[in-house]
Amino acid sequence: MALPVRRRDQGRQTTRSPTVWEPFRELDEIQRRTAELIDSVWSGGARATDDLPWVPAVDVEETDDAWIIEAEVPGVRREDVDVEVRDSELVVSGEIVERERAGILRRRTRRTGRFEYRVVLPEQPDPEGIDATLEDGVLTVRVPKPEQTRRRRVEVQAAQPS
C-alpha cells in the first residue's frame, strides 16, 4: 500500500500519492488474464469450440520395460474410453457425458464432451502387450517396450592372461 507523500511546493504543503511501479504484480496480472483467455477458448467456455476435443492432464513415465501413461478423466465410464496404437503413436480418446441434474447449475468448471490425447513413443510397441485400467478417474495405460530396446546389464569379465 502506497502512503501519501507530503512535500513543500513553493511555500505551501501539497499531498499526492506516488505512482509505484510493481513489475511483478503486473506480470502476474498479465499471466492471470492470459490463462483465463486460453482456458475460456480451450475448455469449452467459448461456444465455438464445443465440437473440438479437449486434452486431459497426462503423466508419461518411462521404466526399464514399459512406458506408463496416466490420464485424468474424472467421471468417464470404461465403455466411453478408446485406447488405440497406430505405428508408434498411442491415442487415448473418449467422451465424458454430462449427467442429468435435478437442480439449477450455478457454476460449471468440470469438463465434459470429447477428449483426445496423442503421444508418439520412441519405439513401435507390440499392440498385443498393451493393457489399460480405469480406477478413481485415472486411466492408466501400460505399453511394454519391445525386447530389443530394453536395458540389459552386461557383466564385465576379467581378462584372460595370454
Whether pTM > 0.75 for this model: the answer is no
Residue with cell 536395458: 151
Mean pLDDT of 104-123: 86
pLDDT in tens, 139-150: 999 999 887 655
Strand partners, 60: 69
Helix (H, G, I), strand (E, B) or coil at 64: coil
Amino acid 10: pLDDT: 55
**Degrees to nearest 5, angle at CA 118 with 93 and 41:** 75
CATH number of 53-101+111-149: 2.60.40.790
